[in-house]
């Protein structure tokens, strides 16, 4: 194991009925002004909104609502939320939704108390937070980003066409409520793309140095097998509680820093998808599904021993009569097959990206990961995008 520092301050409440059981107690630990933040309103259809509002009102809270947080939350939206929080002297920010809502809320929790410009000081480049962000609690309704148990937030600056993620431990939610039954109403397509996002987070961590025996990689393999098995089960029966609850906890475990300990991590695919998303507003999980196999066909020879392990330990491919390169490649193709099996797109064309899209400009805007087995150039990223069509 390489050296690392671990901390995780989020207290996590997991399981059916947890919101009903704990929200009143948890919100009771903060002042009376609560800002409830959410997205497009799906929580009003599935009953989550009513349940939360009833609880907060019974607890005597003054509730201000902030809705309309979009799929790739913008910096403009962050500033709008921060203004509302200041005006209403908010004591607790309560985000209800998936990664976009949670990420937007983390940025709001900073912008609501910081006097400068948080984009310039903390997103454009990493900064040191010397203030206490507004306390944040989250209620998760979609399994995917795992944003509930870290300080990470991916924000899109529309003016500059940049989508950037930062992870500040001070932005960790104070509490997270995860009820797997809340994910039942997520449409199949979104459930699948969210689950692929989980798998992507794990792969982006696993496929990076060090390659020698380490506990984090061993746990990553366990989580990948769990995601694959449980996603298959959840597609067959979306009301399979075992499958949905496992996927929900897989998502959190993939991003609560545990599997990253002692690892460099790559996240080159996420960097590419972020820029694709910034330019085309494509679905995050679906974009990742298109990019991953093509990217791995470019780099697997540089991380042969790990891709070999991936084939055997994650996909159960028998190593007999295959040399290392054949075995490694078979693992990448098993991933590509799985993507087709679960109904995610395998090309940018399927994803609906316009053929006239300026792929070179998108490629040139991608951040280059230092953690990959081979450092990409903007030219190679541009090639990868072309191969994805």
- Sort 55 into a burial class: Cβ within 10 Å, 0-12 / 13-18 / 19+: middle
Measured from the CB atom, the residue of 10 and 271 that comes closer to its own copies is: 10
> Rounded to the nearest whole angstrom, what is the least distance from the CB of residue 318 to its own copies in the complex?
13
Please say whether the beta carbons of 138 and 176 come within 8 A.
Answer: yes
Supply the minimum distance, in Å, between the C-beta of residue 88 and its own copies.
29
What distances in angstroms separate CA 268 from CA 129, 221, 265, 359, 363, one per listed residue?
A: 26, 20, 9, 16, 12
- In terms of C-beta density within 10 A (0-12 exposed, 13-18 middle, 19 or more buried), how is residue 120 classed? exposed
Q: How far is the CB of 77 from its own copies (least distance, A)?
A: 30
Question: 64 - beta bridge partners?
Answer: 35
In the complex, what is the shortest distance from the CB of residue 21 to its own copies, in angstroms, rounded to a whole number?
Answer: 9
Q: Which is nearer to its own copies, 11 or 301 (CB)?
A: 11
CA distance 368 to 59: 48
Question: Nearer Cβ to its own copies, position 1 or 368?
Answer: 1
CB of 174 to its own copies, least distance (A): 11
Distance CA(321)–CA(136), nearest Å, equals: 54
Which residues in this chain contact its own copies in the complex, by CB under 8 A? 1-18, 180, 212-215, 218-219, 221-223, 225-226, 229-230, 242-243, 245-246, 248-250, 253, 258, 261-262
How far is the C-alpha of 377 from the C-alpha of 164, rounded, in Å? Answer: 19
Instruction: Compare residues 143 and 353 and give the one whose CB is closer to its own copies.
Output: 143
Phi, psi of 317 (to 5 degrees): -75, 130
Closer of 40 and 238 to its own copies (Cβ): 238
Considering the complex, state which of residue 215 and residue 370 has its C-beta at the smaller distance from its own copies: 215
Rg of the chain (C-alpha set):
21
Pick between residue 156 and residue 256 the one whose CB is nearest to its own copies.
Answer: 256
What's the min distance (Å) between Cβ of 302 and its own copies?
21
- Least CB distance from residue 8 to its own copies, whole Å? 6
What is the C-alpha separation between 52 and 58, in angstroms, rounded? Answer: 10
Query: Helices 75-87 and 99-111 sit at what angle, rounded to 10 degrees?
Result: 60
Identify the residue whose tokens are 């997270």. 176
């Amino acid at each position: 194991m390489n050296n690392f520092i671990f901390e995780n301050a989020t207290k996590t409440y997991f399981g059916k009925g947890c919101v009903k059981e704990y929200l009143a107690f948890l919100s009771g630990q903060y002042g009376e002004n609560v800002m409830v933040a959410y997205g497009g309103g799906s929580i009003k259809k599935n009953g989550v909104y009513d349940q939360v509002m009833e609880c907060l009102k019974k607890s005597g809270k003054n509730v201000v609502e902030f809705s309309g947080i979009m799929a790739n939350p913008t910096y403009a939206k962050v500033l709008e939320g921060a203004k509302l929080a200041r005006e209403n002297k908010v004591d607790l920010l309560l985000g209800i939704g998936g990664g976009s809502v949670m990420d937007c809320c983390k940025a709001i929790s900073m912008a609501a108390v910081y006097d400068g410009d948080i984009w310039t000081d903390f997103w454009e480049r990493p900064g040191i937070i010397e203030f206490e962000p507004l306390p944040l609690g989250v209620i998760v309704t979609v399994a995917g980003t795992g944003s509930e148990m870290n300080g990470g937030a991916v924000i899109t600056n529309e003016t500059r066409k940049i989508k950037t993620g930062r992870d500040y431990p001070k932005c960790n939610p104070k509490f997270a409520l995860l009820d797997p039954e809340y994910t039942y109403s997520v449409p199949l397509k979104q459930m699948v793309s969210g689950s692929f996002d989980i798998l992507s987070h794990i792969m982006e961590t696993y496929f990076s140095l060090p390659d020698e025996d380490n506990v984090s990689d061993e746990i990553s393999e366990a989580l990948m097998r769990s995601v694959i098995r449980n996603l298959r089960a959840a597609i067959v029966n979306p009301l399979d509680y075992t499958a949905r609850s496992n996927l929900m906890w897989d998502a959190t475990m993939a991003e609560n820093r545990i599997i990253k300990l002692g690892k460099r991590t790559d996240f080159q695919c996420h960097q590419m998808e972020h820029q694709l998303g910034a330019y085309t507003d494509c679905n995050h999980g679906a974009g990742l599904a298109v990019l991953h196999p093509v990217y791995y066909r470019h780099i697997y020879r540089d991380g042969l021993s790990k891709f070999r392990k991936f084939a055997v330990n994650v996909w159960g491919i028998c190593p007999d009569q295959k040399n290392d390169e054949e075995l490694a490649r078979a693992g990448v193709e098993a991933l590509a097959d799985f993507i087709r099996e679960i109904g995610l797109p395998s090309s940018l064309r399927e994803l609906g990206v316009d053929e006239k899209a300026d792929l070179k400009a998108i490629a040139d805007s991608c951040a280059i990961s230092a953690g990959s087995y081979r450092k990409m150039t903007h030219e190679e990223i541009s090639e990868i995008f072309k191969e994805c069509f």
